[in-house]
């Protein structure tokens, strides 16, 4: 079960023809690409990705030979390349997923996050303005709201942003650019902010795939701090459904929260204990290590606005985590092999990353 039926819920938009998906070989975007290619043959889906360490063309193999799919390797911070692609391919819609997202790494190399997340977004916005893109959907995060204590209300879309780590600060800055282009140039843009997304093919630097792969490798589960920090988790197919709804029903200028509800909230320690039970392991496998420089206690968002468009969560956490475990048991070595060793350390770093791609190549799976 992956939650996808490829059964069309929305009629194809007659104004949508050529869709550029940045970061399309990454975790969330690759699932969106697979869904759009198979569900909307009227749309030409153009993946634009520099193939950083978290990306894998394996995630796009099932659509690599489809006539409405193409792949371009490149960096979103290259204005000349982005402009050429938008103009030459007649791009009318941009789904902007590409970003540096691992919070731990943002404490060690915040300038890279600013370059990728802020400059990259600005390049795309300027190309969209110059060549008349009709729809720009910017994928952000619930972390831009900052910490939400248990005694505070869930954050709605108009809540003032208060990011507290370098990663979320760059995402908030990117959102400011999107809103500026909305107002200054009437760019028809939409912003999404989601809970922590999980599911098959996610690179194991994020906590759920990291813990699963650690257990598959016989390694310890490293908990930052006391493990009391909590997050809400949303399964990938529910996010794909949300993007589909927003693409076809979303209002230009709007922001939409993508939240899975209170039942999806787990502390890091409870998440570890739950996975230990599923793998028939004892809690001595857990080891507490130093926390990151700053770690928000929790986030919480209100998704009423998106619900009004007809979206709702379909995959509960128990179902989603079981499917995720099955996928990693069958596939993780094929996807990354020994390249994940650094990701499973207590505190991952940039060591072992593949260099940034600067060349351009067009094609499918090598």
Among 142, 157, 265, 296, which one carries the catalytic annotation?
142
Among 167, 181, 203, 328, which one carries the catalytic annotation?
167
Residue 142 among the catalytic residues: yes
Burial (0-12, 13-18, 19+ Cβ within 10 Å), 361: exposed
Residue 198 among the catalytic residues: no
Residues in Cβ contact with 194 at an 8 Å cutoff, skipping those fewer than 6 apart: 139, 140, 141, 142, 234, 239, 242, 257, 258, 259
> Do 72 and 363 form a contact (C-beta atoms < 8 A)?
no
d(CA 83, CA 124): 8
Q: Could you count the other beta carbons within 10 Å of the beta carbon of residue 75? A: 22
Residue 222 among the catalytic residues: no
Q: Could you count the other beta carbons within 10 Å of the beta carbon of residue 350? A: 12
From first to last of its 366 residues, the chain has per-residue pLDDT tens of: 344 555 677 888 888 999 999 999 999 999 999 999 999 999 999 999 999 999 999 999 999 999 999 999 999 999 999 999 999 999 999 999 999 988 888 888 899 999 999 999 999 999 999 999 999 999 999 999 999 999 999 999 999 999 999 999 999 999 999 999 999 999 999 999 999 999 999 999 999 999 999 999 999 999 999 999 999 999 999 999 999 999 999 999 999 999 998 899 999 999 999 999 999 999 899 999 998 888 889 999 999 999 999 999 999 999 999 999 999 999 988 888 777 888 888 886 653 333 333 334 344 433
> Do 163 and 193 form a contact (C-beta atoms < 8 A)?
no
Among 52, 143, 175, 205, which one carries the catalytic annotation?
143
Q: Which CATH number fits domain 18-202+234-262+295-315+353-362: 3.20.20.140, 3.40.50.720, 3.30.530.50, 3.30.1200.10?
A: 3.40.50.720
């Amino acid at each position: 079960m992956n939650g996808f039926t490829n059964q069309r819920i929305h009629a194809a938009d007659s104004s949508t023809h050529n869709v550029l998906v940045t970061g399309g070989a990454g975790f969330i975007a690759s699932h969106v690409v697979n869904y759009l290619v198979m569900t909307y043959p009227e749309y030409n889906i153009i993946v634009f990705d520099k193939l950083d360490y978290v990306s894998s063309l394996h995630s796009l193999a099932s659509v690599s030979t489809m006539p409405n799919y193409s792949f371009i390797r490149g960096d979103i911070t290259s204005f000349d390349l982005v402009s050429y692609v938008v103009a030459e391919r007649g791009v009318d819609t941009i789904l902007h997923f590409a970003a540096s997202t691992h919070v731990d790494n943002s404490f060690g190399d915040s300038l890279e996050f600013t370059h990728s997340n802020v400059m990259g977004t600005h390049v795309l916005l300027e190309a969209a303005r110059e060549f008349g893109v009709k729809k720009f959907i910017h994928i952000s995060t619930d972390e831009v709201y900052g910490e939400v204590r248990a005694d505070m209300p869930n954050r709605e879309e108009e809540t003032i942003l208060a990011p507290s780590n370098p990663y979320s600060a760059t995402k908030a800055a990117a959102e400011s650019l999107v809103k500026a282009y909305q107002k200054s140039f009437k760019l028809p843009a939409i912003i999404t902010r989601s809970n922590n997304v999980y599911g098959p093919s996610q690179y194991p630097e994020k906590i759920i795939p990291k813990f699963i792969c650690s257990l598959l490798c016989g390694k310890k589960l490293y908990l930052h701090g006391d493990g009391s920090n909590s997050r809400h988790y949303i399964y990938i197919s529910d996010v794909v459904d949300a993007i589909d709804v927003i693409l076809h029903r979303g209002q230009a200028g709007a922001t939409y929260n993508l939240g899975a509800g209170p039942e999806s909230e787990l502390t890091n320690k409870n998440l570890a204990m739950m996975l230990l039970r599923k793998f028939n392991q004892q809690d001595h496998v857990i080891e507490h290590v130093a926390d990151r420089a700053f770690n928000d206690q929790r986030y919480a968002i209100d998704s009423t606005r998106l619900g009004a468009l007809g979206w709702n969560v379909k995959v509960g956490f128990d179902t989603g985590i079981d499917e995720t475990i099955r996928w990693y048991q069958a596939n993780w070595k094929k996807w990354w092999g020994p390249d994940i060793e650094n990701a499973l350390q207590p505190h991952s770093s940039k060591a072992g990353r593949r260099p940034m791609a600067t060349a351009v190549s067009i094609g499918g799976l090598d």
